[in-house]
Amino acid sequence: MRNSEPGSPVSSIGGGVPAADAPITRLLESMRPELLRFAHWLARDRSIAEDIVQEALLRAWRSRDALKDPGAARPWLLTIVRREHARLYERKRLELVSLDEALETQASPGFPEPGGELFALRDAIMRLPIQYREPLILQVVGGFSTEEIARELALSATAVLTRLFRARNKLRVICGLTAAPDAAAPESLS
């Protein structure tokens, strides 16, 4: 790391680590390969994993006094790596667009052929009431988690799960299949 403080474990070129910090430095350097493997597993990209580990080691170095038991270093460092990975995606915000707007702007070659299964499924989804259609599309197409959908739609996580369950059951009914066995009485499709 180019801008690291002298003596940090990441810039061991100069060897300017004070004697009191030598054990923690050796510990951090010895854990680096394992942290890199874990970060690579999380990020699925070697360069991103290296950045994550570098930031994690820097955070660990800055808060090295918080580590009282060297035996707890492994879970402590893995937690820092996991949180650093999460921070990476906190900063990355995807742009949200209106569903109606997205459907209007898509080019026709991207649409399935009328009469095909995909067209029928798309038509069935569009026939769902908006309260069920929104969470379903956010989850299936957008890849949002239940908590993210709840935040976006200002609902509780339980309400989102209920709406997703009902949306899938309504889709089954629209497509001529039977609803899930543990569903309540079918609601009208308005």
Domains and CATH numbers, the chain: 19-91 (1.10.1740), 99-174 (1.10.10.10)
Q: Which of 167, 106, 94 is nearest to 137 (CA)?
A: 167
pLDDT digits (tens, 9 = 90+) for 31-46: 999 999 999 988 888 9
Using an 8 Å Cβ cutoff, are 57 and 9 in contact?
Answer: yes
pLDDT digits (tens, 9 = 90+) for 53-67: 999 999 999 998 888
Residue 30 has pLDDT above 70, yes or no: yes
Q: Which of 54, 39, 63, 47 is nearest to 3 (CA)?
A: 54
In three state form, how does the secondary structure of 97-135 look? Answer: CCHHHHHHHCCHHHCCCCCCHHHHHHHHHHHCCHHHHHH
Report field, pTM of the whole predicted structure over 0.95: no
